[in-house]
Structure 1
Amino acid sequence: MKLENERLCIEIVERGAEAVRIYDKKKNQEILWDGKPEFWKRHSPILFPNVGKTWNNTVLFNGIQYPSYQHGFARDNDFLCVKSDKTEAVWLLRSSDETKEVYPFDFELYITYTLEKNRLHVKWKVKNHSEETMYFTIGGHPAFWCAQDAESRNECFLKFPGKESLEYIGVDLSTGTALPETKKTLFLKEGFCKITDKLFELDTMIFDGGQIEEAWLCHKDGTPFAGVVCKGFPNFGIWSVKGSPFVCLEPWAGRCDDKGFDEDISQKPGINQVEAGEIFQKEYTIVVG
């Protein structure tokens, strides 16, 4: 499926309701990573009902332990397109007998893409059709080219407008869970930070506490290439693969477990909870520079 206006062309597939292409017609430039499997086979998956990994790849709910998979199952399920026109598409995933084997809730997950000038708005809506409180984390994972033409990734910059520094933690590489004790400070110069391999030595940079409401990838001369605006998001991840030409800017509502977390999912810090019959909504925007 395509969304298109004078500036951008967007392609979305039913598997995961994933945006697989953002093309800037004005600059004749691909914005979204093309999914070459030697680095990473995905483009911009939706992470649900968990962001990242859970401890021991399990989730405990009401005394029952369920298997859990990195970033959840939404990205690997086919969504139904329930509405579309030239600039907007709405996709739906419903719970099923298969999803209940790993996640015991009745739900509907809607993903809405709305194209406006040089912006792609991405809205999530989760409806709880269970008779009990529903718990989950949800996140975006868009990967952007940041090495175009003669540039390399490590010549480019991250930019966080208005920020002088940010605090982040890393990931335990053996379990994929967070290490709060690895807290580091990312010092910025006029909001800029040079991209280096060292930034990703603990896999993903995890920013908690709602620190990031806007993040950009910029060319080596400092001009903006692509950014994410995500006001009101409690967590944010930045990830890349060594030697690759892309960086992921990831707005999250909740994140992976801390290392060693083995309590009921209702006790997880930052977990989203939706009461029976209620709705959760969140929206972020991809902006092309």
Structure 2
Amino acid sequence: MNITLTNDTLTATINTKGAELISLKKDSKEFIWEGNPEFWGKHSPILFPIVGTLKNNSYNYNGKQYHLSRHGFARDNDFIVSEVTENKAVFSLSSSKETLENYPFDFELRVIYILDNDSLILQYEVFNKGISKMPFSIGGHPAFALPNNFENYSLRFENDESIISYSLKEDLLSEETTTFELTENQLPLAYSLFANDALIIKKLASDKIQILENNVPKVEIQLGKFPNLGLWTKDKAPFLCIEPWYGYSDTIASTGDLFKKEGIIILNEKEAFETSFGIKIF
């Protein structure tokens, strides 16, 4: 089922499966990737309770091995719609018999979409409803439509003069890095940047990143407090994913202890976590 939000500037459509943003329009122009499976059949999945890939797709907890596929299960589950107004919608996913088989923690995940003038705010709330500590990561994966020549686009980082990307090896994070020097805070886009999969950035000075087309701002991603970032596309695909993350893939040296995973968040019993990012359309 789709939920549509509108205001005087924007129209956003969210699918209850995965609470996934599937459309964001201004003046009938679409800014979210259409999801053509020839390249990638998703639009903006929510990554929870992990971001990226676990070593051997598994982890250990209390002497038992559990399995989680890449980016976790939230994107594949139906969310309950708990509130809808003209410009706000609240979706929730709670632990179940099925989730407990692979993630033995009692949780509730709320995803809140709010239209605010020319921006869409995506808010995530995670509640540990159990009686033990709960490790998790969470992230967004919005794919922005770039319908024209890919090399006409660039990214402008608010405060960074260079960015350091960590390389993936068989989907796991290595210590091998590439430094990209920016010209006037800009990174020109080219498919060659993604020849070895995503760019994984552990630390940024910028709170905002703009997508420019021929040096004209089209979209601004307001990262909020998200500490990590992924950038990704596929060869010849007319989209770019700009992904605010808490956490990232396991390192090659991972021991399988989820509580010691780099970038992991650990909630105490009955504790809550809240974060958000924004998408501004010019």
Deviation at 1:154, TM superposition (A): 2.1
- Tell me which of 244, 247, 250 is aligned to 2:240: 247
In structure 2, what is the equivalent of residue 23 of structure 1? 25
- Return the alpha-carbon distance in structure 2 between the equivalents of residues 271 and 162 of structure 1: 25
The answer to whether structure 1 residue 275 and structure 2 residue 272 are counterparts is: no
Q: Secondary structure of the residue that 1:198 maps to in structure 2?
A: helix
Q: How does 1:104-183 map to 2 (within 5 A)?
A: 104-147=104-147, 151-172=148-169, 175-180=170-175, 182-183=176-177
- Tell me which of 170, 187, 201 is aligned to 2:195: 201
List gaps (5 residues or longer) in structure 2: none
Paired residue total: 280
- Return the alpha-carbon distance in structure 1 between the equivalents of residues 277 and 253 of structure 2: 31
**Counterpart residue type for residue 132 of structure 1:** S
Deviation at 1:260, TM superposition (A): 3.4
In structure 2, what is the equivalent of residue 95 of structure 1? 95
Q: How does 1:32-111 map to 2 (within 5 A)?
A: 32-111=32-111
In structure 1, what is the equivalent of residue 186 of structure 2? 192
The answer to whether structure 1 residue 8 and structure 2 residue 10 are counterparts is: yes
**Counterpart residue type for residue 80 of structure 1:** I
**Counterpart residue type for residue 112 of structure 2:** T
Moved over 6 A (4+): none
Answer yes or no: is the 8 Å Cα contact 1:137–1:271 preserved in 2.
Answer: yes
Return 77-86 or 151-160, whichever deviates more.
Answer: 151-160
Deviation at 1:210, TM superposition (A): 4.2
Q: Secondary structure of the residue that 1:266 maps to in structure 2?
A: helix
Answer yes or no: is the 8 Å Cα contact 1:212–1:236 preserved in 2.
Answer: no
Answer yes or no: is the 8 Å Cα contact 1:12–1:20 preserved in 2.
Answer: yes
- Deviations, residues 60-112 of structure 1 (Å, cap 9, x unaligned): 22221101101100000000000010000000001000001110001000000
- Return the alpha-carbon distance in structure 2 between the equivalents of residues 270 and 122 of structure 1: 21
List gaps (5 residues or longer) in structure 1: none
- Return the alpha-carbon distance in structure 2 between the equivalents of residues 160 and 61 of structure 1: 39
TM-score by length of 2: 0.97
Identity %: 35
- Deviations, residues 228-278 of structure 1 (Å, cap 9, x unaligned): 111321110000010010000000011111123123111112110100000
- Return the alpha-carbon distance in structure 2 between the equivalents of residues 5 and 124 of structure 1: 21
Return 203-212 or 53-62, whichever deviates more.
Answer: 203-212
TM-score by length of 1: 0.94
Q: Secondary structure of the residue that 1:75 maps to in structure 2?
A: helix
Deviation at 1:212, TM superposition (A): 4.1
Answer yes or no: is the 8 Å Cα contact 1:208–1:235 preserved in 2.
Answer: yes
Answer yes or no: is the 8 Å Cα contact 1:210–1:233 preserved in 2.
Answer: no
The answer to whether structure 1 residue 218 and structure 2 residue 239 are counterparts is: no
- Deviations, residues 161-184 of structure 1 (Å, cap 9, x unaligned): 232111111211xx311112x211
**Counterpart residue type for residue 285 of structure 1:** G
Deviation at 1:122, TM superposition (A): 0.4
